[in-house]
Amino acid sequence: MNCISDPVFLQGKKQLVRKMQSEFRTFGTKDAKRFRTFWSRKMQSEFRTLTLFARQRANLIAKLATLFILLSQMSLNFFRRFRQLERKQRLLITIAFTLIILTVLSVSAFASYHYFSQARSPQIDSNLINLDEEILLGLDQVPEEDRETLNVLLAGYGGPGHQGGFLSDVIQIAHFNFPKKTITFISIPRDLYMPDGNKVNALLSRGMKSGKVEDGLALMQKSLSQITGLPIKYYIGIDFVGFKRTIGNELGSIEVEVSQTLDDPWYPLDGEQLNPCGYSAEEIAQMTANLSGFALESKFACRYEHLRFEKGLVKMEGHEALAYVRSRHSSSDYDRSRRQVEVLDAIRRKLFSLEALQHVSKFHQALSKHVSTNLDLESAKYLAPLLVDADSFSITSINLSPENVLQSSKSSTGAFIVIPKAGSNNWTELREFIKKQL
């Protein structure tokens, strides 16, 4: 049987064409070229599914026909020998043969009914993810109120296997201003003291009461919305392993515009935190009793590597990009915030070079393996038209620090913290500062 003439194939084809015509009437004639491109790819994918289904039906029918011919030949041979038997033998064989035939027919009828009733009319799943789908990037269907600004929380953390794995190492708020065509990264210092008596970098772990990272990110989203006065709509969290895989595997490296040469001879090596570096247990115990901080760390040089990134455009793989944003010994937390923004800008440029917005489904599926987020596929498709020109947006940053609205202090336990200059838990000045900078 020709699968193209199969009634099930024809029925599915008609259903798909009706759906396309219906959507075209809703869409109108505007941007018809992009509409045709989108639907030609979608129909090719759906036709492949229908064709495969029809071929499976045709193969099944061919096998049944072959089986019928084989059984017919066997039956003729049997009846030739059957006539040579005695009457009593023929009667017993007739009864047994009749029962076997009835059983086979019953089982075959049930199996055929079950198969064809399940596959009678394949439905075109409107929620099917097409990884090759191209997104129409016009603003026509985006409401006016959503064309102004967007705030997204970006959080990085060590993850399982790291000491303090769910204490946030990177906390940034990405503020998109679409009319001004700007992206502003607001860097939140890890030591910022929160109203609940904990540092802001502990919000992630404190919110993970059920063990879900998303719950911790949701608490960060709510808390930072309150202290900054910015309505944060989405959050994206990623651990160190996910970050390295995203940069190295999904993006195939990035190019970072390094604004200042970074030289750090004491960057910790993964998995070497407990390396004795040739010292005996007694020697380590003695050094631990007499030394602390960097004076103790420097005795174990085998646990560290020497990092150096020259000023200028530097190509980085996942490990290098992570080291660049985490390096501490040669700079401050506020300098780390600057480097984080440089890497985020490099990621933005790489996503546009790969045409991520035109293939949202493909990139969303790839990146979702490495991040925790409330930005689902439908939301990503919704935002795509707003971000179509974001590769040309200017990048600015707001680094909250003692140089503007914060001041250094000590907690009740003696830990180093930063609090608003206006006073502990007084966020008015901080909110106004951010508002003016934006």
- What pLDDT digit, counting tens, does each position of 134-158 carry? 444 444 555 566 678 999 999 999 9
pLDDT at residue 349, rounded to an integer:
92
Task: Provide the pLDDT for residue 236.
Answer: 94
The dihedrals phi and psi of 406, each to the nearest 5 degrees, come to -115, 165
Pairing state between β 254-258 and 312-316: antiparallel
Estimate the crossing angle of helix 428-437 against helix 213-228, to 10 degrees.
90
Pick from 200, 135, 210: which is nearest to 169 by CA? 200
Q: Which domains does the chain have, with CATH numbers?
A: 3-118 (no CATH), 149-261+310-437 (3.40.630.190)
Say if CB 137 and CB 384 are below 8 A apart: yes
Give per-residue pLDDT as tens, 4-59: 555 555 565 566 555 555 544 444 444 454 445 445 555 555 566 666 666 776 77
Residue segments in the chain with a per-residue pLDDT below the cut of 50? 1-2, 23-31, 33-35, 37-38, 118-139
What is the C-alpha to C-alpha distance for residues 406 and 424, in angstroms, rounded to an integer? 10
Concatenated DSSP letters of 222-258: HHHHHHH-----EEEEEEHHHHHHIIIIIS--EEEEE
pLDDT at 360: 84
Packing angle of the helix pair 32-82, 87-118 (nearest 10 deg): 170
Give the predicted TM-score (pTM) of the model.
0.67
pLDDT at 297: 86
* Cα angle value 103/108/111 (rounded, 5°): 125
Residues in the chain, how many?
Answer: 438
How confident is the model at residue 122, as a pLDDT?
39
Question: Cβ(243)–Cβ(322) under 8 Å?
Answer: yes
